[in-house]
Amino acid sequence: MRICKSKMSGMPKPPCPKFISLEDGEFTTKSTSNGFKFRLVSYNILAQVYVKSSYFPHSPSSCLKWKARSQAILMEFKNLSADFLCIQELDEYNSFYKSNMESLGYSSLYIQRTGQKRDGCGIFYRSSSAELILMEEIHYNDLVNGIDYENVPTEIESNNTLDVDRREEASGKDSTKANSHGDQGDPNDPCVRLKRDCVGLLMAFKLRDPSNHLIVVANTHIYWDPNWADVKLAQVKYLRRRVSQFKEIVSNKFCSTPSVIIAGDFNSTPGDEVYQYLVSANSDSEAPAIQLCSLYATNGGEPPFTNCTPDFTGTLDYIFLSDPGYLKPVSLLEVPGPQSADIIGGLPNHYHPSDHLPIGADFVVLGSSNSLIIPELQDVEDRLSKFEIGEQMKVQNN
């Protein structure tokens, strides 16, 4: 792990990220592979609104201050050199990140959580690498509108039915966020229970490569509480359904089947029902089938952890792929192990500005299901082609 020192202050900067080739185990950069290549990273950056010394007593107070953290996060974004950044717990978007990322060549979209929450999800993308062609927002509070009160599922009726003993510890910031759920009404009321103010983004892009391949990028942050696995499961079922529908819309509108990448903080460990549902072969009967696989799990295994505090250390962040036939992951972002010097003592620290670690990969486009065709233009091209053939035949006959 390379640690970069600041010449001005002597304070350590975040470790320089390493992407390890899946073919030969060597370090790689974006320019080392044939074919159109792009990099996608997912990162929960820890919203400043949740940064208090009482939540992170193990962290040096100097690294919790906004001035230091904002610059450290911006430097990490720059060092990651991603074409797509899926960011969770994003706040200070309009006041800081939007303009600073624009100066680095990124366009972006942001969705803030509903209610009184001040953070949200954002996707930053390089306009030189991709063109945004379609987007939708996901508000998980919309689940409330679909409640059948005469046939409420058991897992929504009670908060003691699923996973009540899993991941009992939660970081101080998450425990404080909930405020024992008492500020939002009776947690046994399905309407109250499902209204967690969580959000996500769906964005479709046309890659700037010769094949004009389309990709759908989804970014989300699932509810945190380990004892409310029923709510998390409801959210990922809704996510999977929305992604399936969005993929169909993109396919029909642009006459090309997109690859799908779903990234985010799912607040669930690999053994949880939420994770198992996402990677299972079964999908909801009312939605078009979409099969998912975990990027890291299918390429050596999930990281030992992506969230690291004294109260809890485990894997919560994932990148899922669907129909990866036209995309080939060629390298993975290295995640530090438990013995890494920059991790000891818990996060955040001077090396890592968040309590989460970024994950990501480089992908190579192998082809496209179809060239991007706009029907009206194709009709014009067909008629021109027939006209040219006719003219050539006239010349030959003469």
- pLDDT on residue 367: 78
Q: How confident is the model at residue 378 (pLDDT cuts 50, 70, 90)?
A: very low
Q: What is the pLDDT of residues 97-113, one digit of tens each?
A: 999 999 999 999 999 99
Say which range, 76-80, 159-163, 209-213, 231-235, has the weakest mean pLDDT.
159-163
Torsional class of 258: left (φ above 0), alpha (ψ -120 to 50), beta (otherwise):
beta
Q: What does the alpha-carbon distance between residue 185 and residue 191 come to, in Å, rounded to a whole number?
A: 9
- pLDDT on residue 286: 55
Q: How confident is the model at residue 15 (pLDDT cuts 50, 70, 90)?
A: confident
- pLDDT on residue 153: 47
Quote the DSSP letter at residue 97.
I
Closest among 232, 51, 95, 222 to 156, alpha carbons compared: 232
Q: Reduced to 3 states, what is the DSSP secondary structure of residue 130? A: strand
Q: What is the pTM of this model?
A: 0.84
Question: Phi and psi (nearest 5°) for 214?
Answer: -105, 145
- pLDDT on residue 132: 98
What is each CA distance from 114 to 42, 98, 139, 200, in whole angstroms?
A: 22, 20, 8, 11
What is each CA distance from 77 to 14, 85, 163, 329, in whole angstroms?
A: 10, 8, 35, 20
Q: How confident is the model at residue 376 (pLDDT cuts 50, 70, 90)?
A: very low
Question: What does pLDDT average to over the chain?
Answer: 84
Burial of 21 from C-beta contacts in 10 A (0-12 / 13-18 / 19+): middle
CB atoms closer than 10 angstroms to residue 314: 17
- pLDDT on residue 319: 98
Q: Summarize the confidence of residues 21-31 as an average pLDDT.
A: 65
Q: What does the alpha-carbon distance between residue 398 and residue 395 come to, in Å, rounded to a whole number?
A: 5
- pLDDT on residue 396: 55
Quote the DSSP letter at residue 82.
-
Q: What is the pLDDT of residues 314-326, one digit of tens each?
A: 999 999 999 767 9
Q: How confident is the model at residue 259 (pLDDT cuts 50, 70, 90)?
A: very high
- pLDDT on residue 377: 39
- pLDDT on residue 149: 57
pLDDT at 170 exceeding the cut of 90? no
- pLDDT on residue 391: 53
Q: What is the pLDDT of residues 133-164, one digit of tens each?
A: 999 999 999 999 987 655 554 444 444 333 32
Q: Is the dihedral of CA 216, 119, 276, 311 positive or negative?
A: positive
Q: What is the pLDDT of residues 176-197, one digit of tens each?
A: 454 434 456 898 899 999 999 9
Question: Phi and psi (nearest 5°) for 360?
Answer: 180, 180
54: Cβ contacts below 8 Å, ≥ 6 apart: 172
